[in-house]
Amino acid sequence: MKSMAFATALALLATTTVPTGVRAQSISATSAEAAFTLPALPYAANALEPAIDAETMTIHHDRHHKAYVDTLNKAINETPALKGKSLAELLAGAGSLPMVVRNNAGGHWNHSFFWQTLTPAAQSGQPSAALATAIADQWGSLDAFKADFKKAGTGRFGSGWAWLIVGKDGKLAITSTPNQDNPLMDVAEVKGTPILGNDLWEHAYYLKYQNKRADYLDAFWQIVNWKAVSDRYADAIKK
């Protein structure tokens, strides 16, 4: 049975500007040959400039994310026991999966979530009143929250992700995961429902920022889709 957190997170993925047919296939098993598909970006590749350049977005989506999807499908097709399983089921049992499935299922989910977390700067907006209050209650201010999020991002050694999650207690928390793990996995040190995440792999920022991950983390706030994050928060605290 899917946990509430997994059901919530997949429901959040469903509320996007990605075309319906692509979206549905991207989060559920649909055939033995191509269980998962690459979702389209919900904006043009150059729409996030100058925070993220068009070349980085194109390579990140068209090559890296596509590779996660293709490798995941190949691994699933070669593992009969996993055929027909949804992405939620794969994440829920990540600790017992072959590493190739764990890594690429996580890579597919994380990137699908990431594209929806971003938006052109002119549409970034602000956290909803409810989310702003929750952030202030937890960190004192939005700036203090951003500082702690940056600390989590710069403190993650090697590749990984930084997350803002809603825990089982309904409270916000910042965490990070290595590689392509995420807080929905049974192997996560801190579990919860992600409402915001940032990709810390070098392929997400190196063309523009080189080794300056901190600068990339600062620029990230220019293009956060606060409406999407706020909607995720509202949905998560209802559960």
Place of tokens 């983390």: 217
What are the CA-CA distances from residue 184 to residues 83, 163, 192 (Å)?
Answer: 20, 11, 6
| Planar angle of CA 164, 165, 167, nearest 5 degrees | 150
Note the pLDDT of residue 21.
27
pLDDT tens track for 198-233: 999 999 999 999 999 999 999 999 999 999 999 999
Contacts of 40 (CB under 8 A, 6+ apart): 18, 19, 22
Q: What is the mean pLDDT of residues 176-196?
A: 97
Q: What is the mean pLDDT of residues 32-57?
A: 92
Q: Say if residues 92 and 191 touch (Cβ distance below 8 Å).
A: no
Contacts of 219 (CB under 8 A, 6+ apart): 50, 51, 52, 209
Closest CA to 15 of 4, 3, 27: 27
Quote the CA–CA distance of 35 and 231 in Å, as a whole number: 28
DSSP string, 116-152: HHB--GGG-----HHHHHHHHHHHSSHHHHHHHHHHH
Place of tokens 């995961």: 177
Quote the CA–CA distance of 89 and 80 in Å, as a whole number: 15
Where does the pLDDT of residue 34 fall: very low under 50, low under 70, confident under 90, or very high at 90 and above? low
Note the pLDDT of residue 33.
56
pLDDT tens track for 67-95: 999 999 999 999 999 999 999 999 999 99
Note the pLDDT of residue 3.
41
Note the pLDDT of residue 35.
87
pLDDT tens track for 97-142: 999 999 999 999 999 999 999 999 999 999 999 999 999 999 999 9
Q: What is the pTM of this model?
A: 0.86
Quote the CA–CA distance of 103 and 17 in Å, as a whole number: 26
pLDDT tens track for 145-176: 999 999 999 999 999 999 999 999 999 999 99
